[in-house]
Amino acid sequence: MSHIVRQSLTVVVSVVVLLPVVSPGVGVATAAHDDGDATDDVEWLDGNPDEIDGTIVVRLDTYRSAQQPEEGLGTQGASVDALQTHADRTQTGVIEWAERTEGVEVRNSFWLVNAVTLSVSPEAELDTLDTFDTVEAVHETFSITQSQPVETVDSADTVAPAEQDVTAGLDQISVPDARERFGARGAGATVAVLDSGVEAEHPDIDVERFQAFGSDGSPIEGEPTDPSPQSHGTHVSGTIVGGNASGTAIGVAPDADLAVGSVLNDCGRTGCSGTFEQIIAGMEWAVADVNADVLSMSLGAPGKTDRMVEPVRNARAAGTLVVAAAGNAGEGTSGSPGNVYDTVAVGAVNDDGSVADFSGGERVNKNEWSSPPEEWPDEYVVPTVTAPGVDVKSAQGTDGYGELSGTSMATPHVAGLAALVIGATEAGPGEVEQVLEASARKPAEAADDTTDRDTRFGSGIVDAEAAIAAAESGGPQLRMADQTPSPASSALGESLLTPLSVVMSADLPSPLDDLLANPVDADIAFGRRIRP
């Protein structure tokens, strides 16, 4: 039986597209209506305004810092307050215009992305939006789906989970070793899952908080449930925090607090989907209401979806590590938000350490995005890391278990491991990502067995024991790979202590302590230091 605290979301969400980050020192724009001719500065991303009929997202000015504080990124709440205040100030004019305009109705407003969603009919005079100084772009809403489970062929070498004390996936990423050596079980960390929902009555899942969202991003009251035909959200949640009621431990971080947002609740025979408004509403809830350390998203839209960039960057800058599936369309592909540079993107491996054929991965050119942040490198590699994602056993239904395959199943392994690191060390999101990569390993037979990311393994298969050891010891010996800033802290009114992309200078030797002999004192991200 689960202990559940339900919480309503007072400000619901809507949309976004990536907007360039402006350096601190730029003044904050007002919400004034120009009352003059159209400015022609508004981007109509989905066609002519005269042809739009349905739901549109009006994107307004990104928050610009008026000053640069002396210290690093402040508390999570301070960043959220800045975003909310800016949204309230800049959205007023558009909302008032919509309320008095025929054929236009306000659906929702959002602050994680500064946006207002409107229902519009063909007769609506949308050209008026061009006269608002604060409006930057307009686009239609769209749907995002679960990373669908993949059919796999049973392997003769696979050990049946029932014959083990832990699932094969937990064993593969050294969770038992991390528990024995560090007592790591995730206590003190909070993980939010955005998915189809969760069966809170499952004996292996303890849900601390639950919230469902309607298609417009508004909160829905009701008991926790999972409408997915595969129990997708329940399966994901079990891998993160599941217990061992069956005799086999299924969760990476069973003592972490779990919050589940039901955002993919339009379900059919093959899976579930949700609107962009639902996704953003869920992200806002996870960041502001739940105060999540880690946000796990086994979902995505194909290709480079610019509309996912801003919410990921703002969530990360507010103190929440975003972990997302790389996608199931194989090599040379990836999906959003997994392919957003500021996301920890997760690929899938088999139990023998080989990369699953379906696992997404590619080199992403910055120019493939329509408005990439200046801080992004010219090219980067997806996935960030890999984890078990084939025939993963976890919770299904109200009391059952089942095996599913996909990067959806790999993602919660990494989200749970991040919770272990946070619970053991109180590391910040930038530090967690660095140690996840630095401590990851590649099989000897990998085509690219260097410490650099490649399109199949990323930086390698995550390792719980090595990651916690690296974090507790001040980080392994590091070399500076580039000086590319990570999340958009400059866009949140906080100082930017240029975070660095850091990778291991060598493969992890055995024992790990040899590598940890020379820890460094390095600014990793968000003003947080890894100290010896």
* pLDDT > 90 fraction of the chain, expressed in percent and rounded: 63
Tens of pLDDT, residue by residue over 29-76, are 333 444 334 334 667 655 555 566 688 999 998 876 543 333 333 335
Query: Which of the following is catalytic: 61, 133, 171, 195?
Result: 195
For position 47, what pLDDT does the model report? Answer: 56
HEC-encoded secondary structure of 276-290: HHHHHHHHHHHHHHC
**Distances in whole angstroms, Cα of residue 324 to Cα of each of 298, 339, 342, 470, 474:** 6, 9, 10, 23, 26
pLDDT reading at 77 higher than 90? no
How many other CB atoms sit within 10 Å of the CB of residue 274? 28
pLDDT reading at 414 higher than 50? yes
> 33 exposed, middle or buried (CB, 10 Å; 0-12, 13-18, 19+)?
middle
pLDDT reading at 4 higher than 90? no
For position 22, what pLDDT does the model report? Answer: 30
Measure the CA–CA gap between 391 and 377, rounded to whole angstroms: 35
pLDDT reading at 153 higher than 70? no
Q: Which of 57-66, 163-172, 421-430, 506-515 is most confident?
A: 421-430
What value does the mean pLDDT take over residues 293-321? Answer: 95
For position 284, what pLDDT does the model report? Answer: 98
Query: Which of the following is catalytic: 174, 298, 408, 473?
Result: 408
Tens of pLDDT, residue by residue over 294-303, are 999 999 999 9
Per DSSP bridges, beta strands 294-297 and 321-325 are parallel
What value does the mean pLDDT take over residues 202-223? Answer: 97
Domain residue limits, the chain: 9-141
Q: Across the strands, what pairs with 387? A: 348
Q: Residue 121, Cα to own-chain centre: how many angstroms?
A: 34
Tokens describing residue 30:
């007002």
pLDDT reading at 154 higher than 80? no
pLDDT reading at 280 higher than 90? yes
Catalytic, 195? Answer yes
Query: Which of the following is catalytic: 232, 235, 359, 495?
Result: 232
For position 14, what pLDDT does the model report? Answer: 33
Worst-scoring range by mean pLDDT, 67-81, 444-458, 481-495? 481-495
Tokens describing residue 369:
């995005």
Q: Average model confidence (pLDDT) for the chain?
A: 80
Measure the CA–CA gap between 489 and 496, rounded to whole angstroms: 6
pLDDT reading at 196 higher than 80? yes
Catalytic, 408? Answer yes
pLDDT reading at 82 higher than 50? yes
What value does the mean pLDDT take over residues 145-157? Answer: 52
Tokens describing residue 19:
């907007």
